Structure 1
Amino acid sequence: MRTDAPSVPAGGVASATPDRSGNPPRRRSPALRKAFPYLLLAPAMIYLLAITLYPGLFAIYQSLFVVKFLNWTWTGLGNYSQILQDREFWAALGNTALIGGISLTLQTAIALTLAYFAYRDPLIRGWRIIFLMPMLFMPSAVAFIWKLAFNDGRVISDLLMSVGLVDGNVDWLASVWLARMTLIVADVWQWTPFLFIIFVAALQGQDQEIEEAARLDGASWPEIFWNISLPMMRPVIVVAVTLRGIDITTMFTNVFVMTQGTPGGATETMSYFIYRQGFRMFNFGYASAASVLMLILTIIIAQTVVKRAFHSGKK
């Protein structure tokens, strides 16, 4: 019986099958084979560098000048020297750390609690998609909703009055801590689902045999979660909280829509400070210097947290 399959020599390696013209197929050179994966990735890398590296380098370059529209005056490190003596800069940095720290702590605690129940309870497990809905809204829409609830629509004040907790309408922007609380509530409501879905995925990805062994030893589910699941989730928690913390440092939409930095700059975050310097005072070089300093500080903190967390985990 005749067959067109190529014969295999004694060494076990099939010879190259010639094409219809009778010539053997051309093989790529070793250099081209090594470069081929990089050529496939090149368009995506060029795009990412264009939208990330170039703006960053341009901001660093611009921070060395006093920029007033088309008038660029060289100042070297003058903007950095001035900004380190600016009380408003340090106040904005403190507000970012305070508001972001409280918000991140609440988000982590609530997300872990929801993940604890959603992972075990069949009823809640079937409705997990509901917990993700706040994250699907546009940040500007969320800010307007909470602004309406706290300030313009007096929804929260009416609810508090209906249960007898307050006697009249509450001016949420008149108090420093009440104004900060409005930003924290809005941020927690929208971004807790981000941590929740990561924590649930981490629980589902754990080895079920370890949990079953602990259950056979008589451990309850709270004990299993606290002593086994939570330590195993530590790398995931660190990475998720770090990513969420980096994102919190760029909190702008809620501040811009809800408080505008009031009262007295108590809710002005770093992002809003940079926006105000650049697009209200038109001091673009000063705003770029603040952006560069914030970027450096964020990288240092994030790198330190992740490095210490994973280093301690190896011990």
Structure 2
Amino acid sequence: MRRRSARLKRALPYLLVGPAVVYLLAITLYPGIFAVYQSLYVVRFVNWTFTGLGNYEQLLTDREFWAALGNTAVIGGISLVLQAVIAMSLAYFAYRDPMIRGWRIVFLMPMLFMPSAVAYIWKLAFNDGRVISDLLMALGLVDGNVDWLSSIWLARLTLIVADVWQWTPFLFIIFVAALQGQDQEIEEAARLDGASWPAIFWNISLPMMRPIIVVAITLRGIDITTMFTNVYIMTQGSPGGATETMSFFIYRQGFRMFNFGYASAASVLMLALTLVIAQTVVKRAFRSGRS
């Protein structure tokens, strides 16, 4: 009886965690393996024709694929830079200023909205409701209504604004936590030496935060590569595919053109590219941090 109770006690943690592990594997590992398997076939509903690496070879010569990859890099890159700069600026003031410190929860509110609701709000503001156009006309910056989907960069701007508005708080909360978690004795020593707070922040806090900043930006960058909701609701890839991201390209290939094998190949290729870039960036950041 004692042996059984001891075995049961050792096995209890695994029994409790087991269902969650099985669930996570079912929703992550299996779809990934199935996508790799499906990418080797030309799939038209129930008709599966083995093509090997044919889908991947076709992707490498597909102008629409490269255009979607470029759009993702441009829109995501600009959005990520703006989010990092704004989040760090807000963290700088929220960490030091007692007046702003009490309003931190306000900065987090955009992240609490559903992405689809945010996309509809900004679609109403830019396109359907003409809110932004009316505001610009009231300020005398434009003479008439602005058609935000008539220009490549104006259409991209709508996606960037919506993404920056909602997800800057994600970086903000990480940066504030990093500032609060740093060694206060170093800051006090620098202050006693006569260093100002901007100098302390630039020369001490930022270098100490570098690994955390890189990881946070990498996580946000990975999430940006999956930008779909804003594109689907706000632009549909217009004008002329200039706002079609990789996620929307995969959706269009799979659920509009019903080329499921081709869509799976694009998703596998995008996943591999994202993992390689993310791991390279993080490794270099931590390696330079140790040196």
Smaller-chain TM-score range?
Answer: over 0.9
Shift of 1:33: 6.4
Give the number of the structure whose alpha-carbon radius of gyration is greater.
1
3-state DSSP of counterpart to 2:195: coil
> 1:223 pairs with 175, 186, 199, which one?
199
Shift of 1:126: 0.4
Task: Output aligned runs, 1:1-315, within 5 Å.
Answer: 26-27=2-3, 36-315=12-291
Structure 2 counterpart of 1:169, which letter?
N
- Measured in 2, the distance between the counterparts of 1:205 and 1:214 equals 17
Unaligned runs of 5+ in 2: none
3-state DSSP of counterpart to 1:132: helix
- Measured in 2, the distance between the counterparts of 1:250 and 1:173 equals 21
RMSD: 1.3
- Measured in 2, the distance between the counterparts of 1:142 and 1:40 equals 37
The Cα offsets for residues 145-174 of structure 1, whole Å up to 9 and x where unpaired, read as: 101111111111111111111000111100
Runs of 4+ in 1 over 2 A off after TM superposition: 27-41
Q: Which of 131-140 and 29-38 deviates more? A: 29-38
- Measured in 2, the distance between the counterparts of 1:122 and 1:86 equals 54
- Measured in 1, the distance between the counterparts of 2:290 and 2:117 equals 43
Structure 2 counterpart of 1:213, which letter?
A
Shift of 1:29: 8.6
Structure 2 counterpart of 1:194, which letter?
F
The percent identity for this pair of structures is: 84
Shift of 1:34: 5.8
- Measured in 1, the distance between the counterparts of 2:86 and 2:97 equals 16
- Measured in 1, the distance between the counterparts of 2:155 and 2:167 equals 19
TM-score normalised by L of structure 2: 0.97
Which structure has more relative contact order (CA 8 Å, sep 6+)? It is: 2
Structure 2 counterpart of 1:128, which letter?
R
Shift of 1:254: 0.3
- Measured in 1, the distance between the counterparts of 2:190 and 2:9 equals 50
The structure with the largest helix share of the pair is 2
3-state DSSP of counterpart to 2:43: strand
The Cα offsets for residues 187-240 of structure 1, whole Å up to 9 and x where unpaired, read as: 000000000001001111111111111111101110111111111111110111
Structure 2 counterpart of 1:282, which letter?
F
1:5 aligned partner: none
- Measured in 2, the distance between the counterparts of 1:33 and 1:86 equals 57
Shift of 1:39: 3.6
- Measured in 2, the distance between the counterparts of 1:257 and 1:249 equals 17
- Measured in 2, the distance between the counterparts of 1:286 and 1:144 equals 30
Shift of 1:37: 3.8
